Amino acid sequence: MRQIGDTEYSEILNHVRLCSQTKSDISVLRSRLTSCISDPINVSPPPFVNALCLLPLKEQVEEYNDKHSIVETTTLIPGVVSHEEVPESLISSNDRDCAGLSRKEGLVNGARGIIVGFSWPNGASDQAKKGNLPQKVHVKFHESCVGLVSRVTINDSSEQEAVPIEPVTAKFYGKQEVTLQHTQLPLLPCWAATIYKVQGLSLDAAVIDLGPKMFEDGMVYVALSRVRTLQGVALLGLV
């Protein structure tokens, strides 16, 4: 169980899991609301400054990530998709690994980190031609155990250790021996994720929406139980 050492939170989660939460449980959870009248939770400082936001709906997640993509300082790398220019990577942004690259190293769907650099073909310092992908994207993952074997130091002047992520090619076979090939970096912007997507993750902190858009039994428990301690929980809403 993730909540070893936080007995109060463990008991609340057990009650929520069995749908037998008490008035005391609800009162404690309400104290974690960012809109709490008496003492609202501030999500600006640690541990919430880089915390993942857990939302019920995919549409909410997309809107949240889009807003942060605009606000955050980014470097746009033009890519070619149907001859349209699109940003392929966001530097200094929160991203998640959307393909299981190495389960032994924790490089799985849902692993989160910060892009800290790029490596270009032939030692180039930047994109040579529109549509070219980096040879590697260097990601410093939030969990120190992720990518221990693959981790490298980007350069001598940097103490940041990062994991090199390379483009992945998928092939699709259609009728009449037609083969389609798609190459992309297995990374997605991830300031927020759906509650469904984070099943299995353990988080030190999370900002969670448990408001009226919750649509399925068990979602409240899944969301709350991702976080190791009550002090790591900030609630945007509570059903």
User: If you write DSSP's letter for every residue of 59-109 in order, what string do you get?
Assistant: HHHHHHHHHHHHHS---EEEEEETTEEEEEEETTSEEEE-S-SBGGGTB-T
Tell me the mean pLDDT in the region 95-124: 77
* Res 90: pLDDT: 41
Task: Say yes or no: 7 and 35 in one domain.
Answer: yes
Question: Partners of 228 in the beta sheet?
Answer: none
- Comparing 195 with 69, the larger pLDDT belongs to 195
CATH of the domain at 209: 3.40.50
Task: Say yes or no: 91 and 129 in one domain.
Answer: yes
Reported as type and span, the H/E element at residue 238 is strand 233-238
Distance CA 232, CA 219 (A): 18
What's the pLDDT tens digit per position in 195-209?
A: 998 888 889 999 999
Q: Which domain holds residue 9?
A: 1-69+189-238
Task: Say yes or no: 29 and 85 in one domain.
Answer: no
Sign of CA dihedral 140, 143, 144, 145: negative
